[in-house]
Structure 1
Amino acid sequence: MSYLKFDKNLMINLEQSLTKEMLRTNQAGAYHCSTIVGCNTRKHHGLLVIPIPELGNKSYVLLSSLDETVIQHGAPFNLGIHRYKGGVYSPNGHKYIREYDCETVPRTTYRVGGVILTKEMIFSSQENRIMVRYTLVDAHSATTLRFRPFLAFREANELAIQNTSLNPDYIEANNGVGFCPYKGFPTLYMQLSRKPTWVSEPNWYNNIEYSKDRDRGIPYIEDLWVPGYFEIPIKKGESIIFSAGISEISPRSLSKMYETELTSRTRRTSFYNCLKNSAKQFYIKDNDKEFIMSSYPWGSVRARDTFLALPGSTLSIDHTEDFHQIMDTAIKAYEHYMETEELDPRIHGIDLPDIPLWALWAIQQYGRSQGFDKARKRYMPVVSKLLNWILAGGHPNLQVETSGLVSTTGTSTPASWMNSTQAGWPLVPRTGLLVEFNALWYNGLMFGCNLSEGIPEYEKHRESWLTVANQAKTAFITTFLNDYGYLYDYVNGKYSDPAVRPNMAIAIGLDYSPLERRQRKSVLDIVTRELLTPKGLRTLSPKSYGYMPFYIGQPDVRERAYHNGPARPWLFGFYADAYIKVFGMSGVSYIDRMLIGFEDEMSQNCIASISQLYDGNPPFSGHGSISHATNVAEVLRTLRNLKRLNP
């Protein structure tokens, strides 16, 4: 039995099936995303969504969907499904679905009378091309397939509206046609592996609704242009491949290309394999550079997310070379910022004050995974450069105080990962001495000392790092540890923020924590009691003022809740590290049991992946981006750590 298989009863129940989404990407930043029944519920959904550098560093929906129709004895049976204004679903193709299987590639089985048809989708890893293979498993009479493309040609965060500026002309292609409705866009080539008949029948389909966007309180109705349809006869046992891409392809090569892509896929037959596939979907390659996308279906390449997600999404699945390439790309960009203070055009947020601290943490994880000799050989110069640059006051918003601690200003612009804003102002104005900044700083200093030990050329640097680390350790305890046994979230002058937040979990989960074991346990107890959920750590304790557990409602309401209650799965990685450091091997089974909450997510929300955040209260529903790099990475890193401890 497949690890990810959904039967007829679930598929025809739209209340259940429309909550489950699927995602496929390639390493050029393109993606395909929809619900498992094929009904788009977000403006970001689409059969082919690609980045177009000439139009800006954003994603664009070219092909929104493709309606399939089975024709027998002149009677059409439309397998598509759309939601129109007023909540009307038409056609109701989901009623023909008998099974949906996502073990290797998304595979839908339809039954229309005596016809059994399967549809399998696969993304080319090398180019922006989606391929859909249709196989007629059974039929008792002559069968024809009709394919009707719904074109959007708009930025993924916008909506298409019927207009007169659209160019309806098309060009002939080998076994297909090509369209470019608007200037500046590439031509979309739609072709089949065997020659079809193209029937030009241009129409606008108006008032298509996206229910997820409606629930989020953002614009949700659009018009899509349907230029016509393909028709092609198909025989029992025969397969036909539909291709949509921005370059014309030889139809003869489609079958071989499809099979080649198929053999490279890891089957989703376990929790680990699901997350492994999900992690690889965040890789983006651009010539000699490699990046990590922060999330899908919206997201970008971000410095903090890159360093946070890097160890888990590469080392934990034995993709060491990808770690090297992504780290080299990111460090090269960061070194350029250190020298010039110029922002990177591709990696967003590279100027944020905690970026060098997370970079040091990522290199430390490399040492844990690959051995510190390899880390020393490859990254010692980088570690030294980062530490000395911070000590020299190189960063404009990260100052080393006389106490050895580091301070930052976050009153007008968010400085940390808790970066929600309203009217341009931080909703969580963390400023001054931030608890995770200083824990990462102490950890980075001690890691540098460890890595440089025995290397004469770094001896003087090591002495200064150790001196500051010792100062910072003492100051950290007196500054952050309070009489209640947990850590203040930030301290700004005489003000110590008492909110119980998960940043203290980072402080106790690091290899080099400023706290002793007993102090760690005290903090861990508070985190376990007030912040731990089956989906990660709450961003604020229910006992703290301003707790908002549910990420629902209008945009301004959701923004206020963003860091004031909902749980973040990536924080569980630090919690797990802390728990095992405190309780040793006796804590392994507990962490293993807690991971069940994430394994349950493999068949929820975005199947085989983990959402951006979850409600802080039951039933802990998922929200935000449907597949989030740091969450997938940290759960993977925890799985790998458990395997090392208890093989």
Structure 2
Amino acid sequence: MTLPLSPVFGPQTARDLDREVLLTDGLGGFSMSSLAGAPTRSYSGLAVSHQPPVDRRVMFITPLETLDVAGRTATLHAFEVAPGTLEGDGLHTLESVVLQGLLPLRTQVAHGVRVQRRAFMPRHAGTLVLLYDVDAREEVTLTLGGLFTDRDMHAVCPQAPTLTFSVQGPHATIQGTHTLQMHVHAPGGTVTALFPAPYTQRLHYRQEAARGEADTDRALGATLFQVTLPAGGGRVALVVDGLEEGALDPWGAWEAEVSRRSGLVRTAQATTGLRDEDTAHLTLAADAYLVRRASVDSVSVIAGYPWFADWGRDSMIALSGLLLTTGRFTEARGLLETFLRYAQRGLVPNNFYDDGSGAGYNTVDGSLWLFQAFERYVHASGDEAFARAHLPALRAILQHHVDGTDFGIGVDARDGLLRAGAPRVQLTWMDVRIEDWVVTPRHGKPVEINALWIGALAVEGRLSARLGEAAQFGTALTRAQASFAAFWNADAGFPYDVLHDDGTADAAIRPNALLALALPDTPATAEQLDAALRVAETHLLTPLGLRTLSPEDAAYRGAYGGHRLVRDAAYHQGTVWPWPLGAYVTLLLRRGDVVRARWALAGLRAHLWEAGVGGVSEVFAGTTLAPGGCPFQAWSVAEVLRAHVAVSRH
């Protein structure tokens, strides 16, 4: 099959350095730059390597590419050395960029020579490949090198790194604390090794400046190879990192990756019954977040690129969209098995430690979202053997919550609702803490946590019935459902966000109420659902997601950007998040309003090509809707895909 194409980004749009493109290798390594190829973050890198899957280092920031045609030269690269000051001709020679199956094809023209460059990362190879197709009427020379460093991706180098270069024939080795290998293939051409003369190059990262982070880096520049092609041009491949010379056929690897991606789309089409391009693009976008974690020997989910690791809560929320909608049931099963295997005292991991020593468990909702993901998996796959094997583990989780477990998590014997909270520990998805300042304190009984608790109890009952067993928590379910009525704020026509231990309640208007009401077992009348939707549409709804707090609240912060403290203070205090929009769409479909549900997703479908190209951003500013956070976020993509499929099926 033919992979779906993105819109064609012409010269003006492609030169917009705020659009970014991402490639991933399924191990935690990635490649990321602006659409035009210029690095704009400390995280930008042609190849960001990994100690699977999240200890990631930058060694190769960007390639240096120079054309020589009969003594006339032009560079194909570009990067900023100071705000607004560019080095290289790359933006001027850029003609277009288009993504085929979310793999970028960049076309540049200089001195009558057309160069098309494809980039991809073969799955699970720890390798990046650049394929150049050169169309020239006369002999042409392509000089290849790069800007190199040796640092953690979260940092910059105030001084140039110490690296050793070795070039022999078509092979180069760059040695620092890690080793980077490069191989050039040029069938029909001649490859000449150059003697590297490394020089210090200053770099400015505009995205880091906008985030109030260190934005000046220093790297080593070096030219390594000269490739001479005869009149008519030819093909050149640059293979970076990971494999011994000759171990990978770059053009064969390209065909294999195109075939793999085509298979992903076909499987999603068979699963959903949909053949539209939005489903295809979102299916391929979902693939970027699935990685193999060696420490637990299983699939895991990277929460967002470029800086997030893998997280339990994000994995459980994203599972339906990333894995079930796309028909990747084996991986969904593996993900669920991993988290159940590492459950302790009724809690599944919030995150795994990269050294393999264990996991962190500071989350109240990760375990509860797992019940939703588990039942959806069993329903989608029909895997009753899996349900039978793990029902005892699910019951053990529920019992720990009834008895009480870590971080103050436990059922209140007075009403059967679930409370949670411990000093200086945030347990829900609104989890920002700045030193001793808990920005969104939600200790007590949060509304979505109790809807998830009711849902978990109900899932146990349905699975038990499906397997011919007696439910063990029916009384707890009945009591919690009856007590949930305490969350309804009749004056506001909207649920309270938190019921506090002292009998007071937080009436802040937040999207957590919609997360709660969208779950299938939450007790609410049709009138309450309609009222809650009206309030959410007045206070929270935007074309790109839901605000985390009403603009009428005194604590509302509509700007998102600048220094980390400023960003964190706004993170859940008005900033827009796309992923809760999935709950809003679910509620609209439950009320039979397909037209509004389809309209609600229109802005995010357009956004696919506006920031992280082919992805969905983590957040947007509450007032201006400017994109922020990670430009590629797992649960944003997952919930947009899940909701899009649900709407399309109505």
Q: Provide TM-score, normalisation by structure 2.
A: 0.91
Matched, 1:41 2:40: yes
* CA–CA separation in structure 2 for the residues paired with 1:342 and 1:511: 24
**Residue aligned with 2:617, SS:** coil
SS of 1:369's equivalent in the other structure is helix
* Letter aligned with residue 97 of structure 1: L
Q: Taking structure 1 as reference, are residues 526 and 494 closer, same or farther at Cα in structure 2, changes over 3 Å only?
A: same
Tell me what 1:513 maps to: 522
Task: Say whether the 8 Å CA contact 2:21–2:32 is kept in structure 1.
Answer: yes
Alignment pair present for 1:159 and 2:156 = yes
Tell me the CA shift for residue 252 of structure 1: 6.9
Which residue is 1:96 aligned to?
A: 93
User: For 1:209-261, what per-residue CA distance to the aligned partner results, in whole angstroms no more than 9, with x for missing partners?
Assistant: 00010111110101111233310112325111001113323077233223222
SS at match of 1:38: coil
Does the CA contact (< 8 Å) of 1:161 and 1:224 recur in 2? Answer: no
2:598 pairs with 1:592: yes
Of 355, 358, 361, the match for 1:350: 361
CA distance in 2, matches of 1:261, 1:66: 22
* Whole-angstrom CA distance in 2 between matches of 1:538 and 1:341: 28
Q: 1:473 aligns with which of 481, 487, 490?
A: 481
Residue identity matched to 1:225: L
Q: Can you list the C-alpha shifts for 1:391-437, whole angstroms capped at 9, x where unaligned?
A: 23244431100110011115422121101122243111111111111
User: Using the alignment, how far apart are the partners of 1:152 and 1:45 within structure 2?
Assistant: 12
RMSD: 2.4
Instruction: Give the equivalent residue in structure 1 for 2:193.
Output: 198
CA distance in 1, matches of 2:350, 2:37: 43
Q: Is residue 538 of structure 2 the alignment partner of residue 540 of structure 1?
A: no
Match of 1:234 in 2: 229
Give the Cα separation in 2 of the matches to 1:578 and 1:445. Answer: 21
Whole-angstrom CA distance in 2 between matches of 1:79 and 1:339: 52
Q: Does 1:397 align with 2:408?
A: yes
The answer to whether structure 1 residue 127 and structure 2 residue 121 are counterparts is: no
Aligned CA distance change for structure 1 residues 590 and 434 (closer, same or farther; 3 Å): same
Describe how 1:327-342 pairs up with structure 2 within 5 A: 327-335=336-344, 338=346
Q: Indicate the residue corresponding to 1:385 in structure 2.
A: 396
2:11 to 8, 12, 18: 8
Structure 1 residues 379 and 580, CA gap change in structure 2 (3 angstroms): farther
2:268 is aligned to none
Out of 123, 129, 139, which is 1:142 matched to? 139
In structure 1, the partner of 2:493 is: 485
Query: Matches of 2:327 and 2:348 in 1, distance apart?
Result: 35
User: What residue in structure 2 maps to residue 625 of structure 1?
Assistant: 630
The CA deviation at 1:499 is 0.9
* 1:168-216 Cα deviation digits (max 9, x unpaired): 34264x62111112x3x2x211111136212223233332100010111
C-alpha distance in 2, partners of 1:343/1:2?
Answer: 35
Structure 1: gaps of 5 or more residues: none
Q: Specify the SS of the correspondent of 1:200.
A: coil
In structure 2, the partner of 1:446 is 458
How far apart are 1:634 and its partner, in Å?
0.8
Q: Which amino acid aligns with 1:489?
A: D
Distance in structure 2 (CA, Å) of the matches to 1:306 and 1:36: 28
Number of equivalences: 624
8 Å CA contact 1:488, 1:500 repeated in 2: yes
Please state how far the C-alpha of 1:50 moved relative to its aligned partner. 1.4
Residue aligning to 1:576: 585
Shift of the alpha carbon at 1:5?
1.3
CA distance in structure 2 between the partners assigned to 1:517 and 1:273 by the alignment: 35
TM-score norm. by structure 1 comes to 0.91
Given the superposition, is the C-alpha separation of residues 26 and 473 from structure 1 closer, same or farther in structure 2, using an over 3 Å criterion?
A: same
After superposition, residues 207-286 of structure 1 pair within 5 angstroms as 207-235=202-230, 236-250=232-246, 253-266=249-262, 270-286=277-293
Q: C-alpha distance in 2, partners of 1:329/1:229? A: 44
- Residue by residue over 1:3-45, the C-alpha shift from the partner in whole angstroms, topping out at 9 and shown as x without a partner, is 331112323xx4xx11110001011111000001111110001
Q: Which moved more, 1:246-255 or 1:587-596?
A: 246-255
The answer to whether structure 1 residue 605 and structure 2 residue 617 are counterparts is no
Matching residue's letter, 1:596: A
Q: 1:75 aligns with which of 60, 72, 75?
A: 72
Q: Aligned equivalents of 1:180 and 1:378: distance in 2?
A: 49
**Structure 2: distance between partners of 1:156 and 1:636:** 29
1:119-150 Cα offsets, whole Å, 9 max, x none, are 1111111211110001112x222100011211
**Which amino acid letter does the alignment assign opposite residue 121 of structure 1?**
A
487-496 or 505-514, which moves further after superposition? 487-496
SS at match of 1:334: coil
Identity of aligned residues (%): 23
Q: 1:436 aligns with which of 448, 465, 469?
A: 448
Alignment of 1:47-58 (within 5 A): 47-52=46-51, 57-58=54-55
C-alpha contact 1:302 1:350 (8 A) present in aligned 2: no
**Partners of 2:314 and 2:347 in 1: CA distance:** 22
Paired letter, 2:7: L
Q: Aligned AA for 1:634? A: E
Cα 1:309/1:151, change in 2 over 3 Å:
same
- Structure 1 Cα separation of the partners of residues 620 and 118 of structure 2: 31
Q: Give the Cα separation in 1 of the matches to 2:611 and 2:570.
A: 20
Kept in 2, the 8 Å contact 1:98–1:109? The answer is yes
Task: State the AA in 2 paired with 1:10.
Answer: T
Q: Which residue of 2 aligns with 1:369?
A: 380
For residues 9 and 455 of structure 1, what CA distance do their matches in structure 2 show? Answer: 60
- Please, which runs of 5 or more residues in structure 2 have no aligned partner? 266-275
Q: CA deviation digits over 1:538-574, x for unaligned, max 9?
A: 1001111211122122221111111011111110111
Residue type of the partner of 2:24? T
Kindly indicate whether the alpha-carbon contact (under 8 Å) linking 1:52 and 1:58 is maintained by their aligned counterparts in 2.
Answer: yes
Please list the CA deviations of residues 467-489 of structure 1 after superposition, one character each: whole Å capped at 9, or x if unmatched.
11221122211244343211111
Displacement, 1:640? 2.2
In 1, Cα distance between the equivalents of 2:520 and 2:619?
26
Q: State the distance in 1 between where 2:360 and 2:616 align.
A: 23
2 CA distance for matches of 1:496 and 1:473?
18
Instruction: State the partner residue of 2:272.
Output: none
Paired with 1:294 and 1:530, the residues of 2 have a C-alpha distance of: 27
* 1: CA distance, partners of 2:374 / 2:348: 23
- Quick one: which amino acid aligns to residue 628 of structure 1? Q
